């Protein structure tokens, strides 16, 4: 799966995660700390990916709220924007519109997870 989304009139693309933001986070420790942080981020994104599909608006809304903060922290601005939209509109969406948003969020989380895996110091061992 490609981790880029075509945007803008000139076919410009942005990566799923701003590598500068991610590298700044990872620079705060040694390889073991970097690996632990990368593993935790992947686990958190997978957990939230499952939670946003919850049929109960309260649970999905909480997950979207948490997801927007986590995404912004790692430099996944496109994902943060999408989660922000779901968080703001969760109670107002008809099921079909919600399903479309959740499917798009799942694809974007997959792109973020792929980029996190490539950023992992233990990539060769996986």
pLDDT digits (tens, 9 = 90+) for 81-103: 999 999 898 888 888 998 999 99
pLDDT digits (tens, 9 = 90+) for 41-57: 999 999 999 898 887 77
pTM of the model: 0.81
With a CB cutoff of 8 Å and minimum separation 6, the contacts of 23 are none
pLDDT digits (tens, 9 = 90+) for 4-21: 444 445 566 678 999 899
Across the range 107-123, mean pLDDT stands at 87
Query: What are the b/e assignments for 84-114, b being 16+ CB within 10 Å?
Result: bbbbeebeebeeeebeebbeebeebbbbbbe
């Amino acid at each position: 799966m490609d981790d880029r989304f075509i945007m803008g009139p000139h076919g410009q693309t942005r990566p799923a995660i701003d590598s500068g933001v991610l590298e700044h986070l990872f620079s705060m420790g040694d390889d073991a700390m970097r690996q632990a942080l990368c593993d935790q981020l992947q686990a958190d994104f997978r957990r939230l990916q499952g939670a946003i599909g919850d049929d109960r608006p309260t649970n999905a809304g909480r997950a979207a709220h948490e997801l927007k903060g986590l995404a912004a922290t790692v430099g996944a601005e496109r994902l943060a924007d999408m989660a922000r939209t779901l968080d703001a509109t969760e109670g107002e969406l008809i099921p079909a519109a919600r399903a479309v948003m959740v499917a798009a969020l799942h694809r974007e989380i997959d792109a973020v997870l792929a980029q996190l895996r490539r950023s992992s110091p233990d990539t060769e061992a996986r």
